[in-house]
Chain A
Amino acid sequence: MRRERIVLVGAGRAAAAAAATLRREGFDGDLVVVGDEPHPPYRRPPLSKAWDGAAPCVDDLLVRDAEWYGTNAVELITGTRAVALDCASRQLTLADGARLGYDRLLLATGGRPRRLPGVRGDRIHHLRTVADAAALREQLAGDGPLVVLGGGFLGCEVAAAARASGVEVTIVEMAPTLLSRAVSPELGELFAALHRSRGVTVLTGERVDSVVQAGDQVVVRTCAQVLECAALLVAIGISRSTELLSGTPVACDDGVLVDEFAATSVPGVYAAGDVAAAHHPRYGRRVRVEHDDNAVRQATVAARNMLGARDVYDDPHWFWSDQFEHNLQMVGSPEGHDRSVVRGSPGEGAFSVFHLRGDRLVSVLAFDRGRDVVTGRKLVAAGATVAAEQLEDDAVDLRRLLRRQGGRPS
């Protein structure tokens, strides 16, 4: 009997999780991972965080050490882009002309940073890869200032890391507050105040009109002023890498469309991680999640389903952000909540915000109170019903609320 082959396209976090799951679940056919970066899968979250000492070294970031792939009979093809997909004959063509047949395929190609149209220059930076991070760090090693375009998580984390290492930093954000896509205006203001207190210039509600690199200076014109800097980081989100799929029957719409089983519109083809636009049963709509933990969990489900399971992916999503010495975590989605309860002391630092719809906990956000998220995540995942008074009472152990869910019919 012919050996089965599973191919994972994109050698990032999702592919690494899928490969490990496939082997752990007993898949003993050929397993091939193809990626265009020259490295085995590595963790990207540290690239934007705390810059202590030397530039990031990929060896410190590897999800699995290089030997793991050999030990587990995973063929790792790095530095090679997949350029064409033929779903009818189940063949993938690589940039070097090689053709790989597959029985099942995981699309885990992730995304790439959005760029400002027409803007070029060696001082215009984006951040996705370890090479991007090294280039930015190298340029800022001499001197700043740095302008960060985009006050989302990536922009804010880099701003904090650069500022903490002594660089003069300005954040320019079009929206009225920082982190506006993810958190409330109040929390965005809290982060703006934090950054300002450390010497970051935070410009919100400012649209950028033009960016030009002239010699070794970048000139950024906003609607309100002209900024000059040694380096510009453009951190305005990603586009999902779906170009491999143009002309194929794999349905895409700003990402690869997948159902709750991580399956695409084409039998045998799955997608996970940043590239996936997944139907999410918990939220009753399509979601695109660009977080490390989601890539791992969704790819794990995809891998199991590739082997015949019917696991539903309905993780409530968890992410974290580290800025300066502070830690923000969030689980679930506050959409549709009708009540918020605060635990802890926002004025004094650490606090958590619990979002409820009726008496059901839908989301927890913790600022320097990660412990609340450890249990909060389980409460949200369980669809727990809780009393608001207990959530805001610091004397009530959240784990007790979780145990109480045990007898509840679900």
Chain B
Amino acid sequence: MGAVPETTAEGSATDSVGSWARALDLDELWEGEMTAVTVGATSVLLVNVDGQVRAYVNRCPHQEWALDEGDLDGRTLTCSRHLWEFDVLSGEGINPDNCRLTGLDCRVEDGAVLVRAG
């Protein structure tokens, strides 16, 4: 099987447990959009920033509110509950800057978004 580049968020805490699962067709995740899907027992946030797809646990690290109810503006995701901001390409917190999203392994293959979630 050929090596497929993984688009894991650089530097983010990654949960590598679990097997790859088809999460969504890529054409259902437009550029500049985000959506939440359930993979196994995990609510997964998928984001598409200019064609770069990332997957995170769909819970704000602050108080675990669902992130897909927030707002995605460019590469900045704002949680709607207390307005914590994150860079969705790196997973790093912007405000506050000492937190991060929980990244999940993610790759695009044959028009499908694959995610490895526990």
B-contacting residues of A (Cβ < 8 Å)?
20, 63-65, 68, 293, 318, 320, 327, 329, 369-371, 373-375, 377, 399
Nearest Cβ on chain B to A137's Cβ, whole angstroms = 18
The answer on a CB contact under 8 Å between A371 and B82 is no
B69 touches A (CB below 8 Å): yes
Chain A residues within an 8 Å CB radius of B96: 63
Contact in complex: B73, A370 (CB < 8 Å): no
Question: CA of A20 to CA of B78 in the docked complex: distance in angstroms?
Answer: 22
Sorted from nearest, which 6 A-B pairs have the closest CB atoms?
A: A370-B80, A374-B71, A371-B80, A374-B78, A370-B81, A320-B82
Which residues of B have CB within 8 Å of A371?
Answer: 69-71, 80
Contacts of A318 in B (CB 8 A): 83
Cβ proximity bits B63-80 to A, threshold 8 Å, 1 near / 0 not: 000000111010000111
Inter-chain CA distance A374–B81, complex, in Å, is 9
B interface bracket (residues with beta carbon within 8 Å of A):
10 to 19
A329, B97: Cα distance in complex, Å? 22
Closest to A43 in B: B96
Asked whether, in the complex, the Cβ of B80 is within 8 Å of the Cβ of A374, the reply is yes
- On chain A, the residues within 8 Å of B83 by CB distance are 293, 318, 320, 329, 370, 373-374, 377
Taken together as a complex, chains A and B put the C-alpha atoms of A65 and B96 apart, in Å, by 13
Is B81 a contact of A375 with CB atoms below 8 Å? no
For the complex formed, measure the closest distance between the CB of A236 and the CB atoms of chain B, giving whole angstroms: 25
CB distance from A257 to the nearest CB of B (A): 28
> A298 vs B70: C-alpha distance in the bound complex, in angstroms?
25
- Name B70's contact: one of A63, A374, A377, A399 (CB within 8 Å): A374
A211 to B82, CA, bound (A): 36
Once the chains bind, are A399 and B69 in contact (CB under 8 Å)?
no
**Inter-chain pairs besides A329-B83, A371-B80, 11 sampled, C-beta below 8 Å:** A20-B97, A63-B96, A68-B98, A293-B83, A320-B83, A370-B79, A370-B83, A371-B70, A374-B80, A375-B71, A399-B71
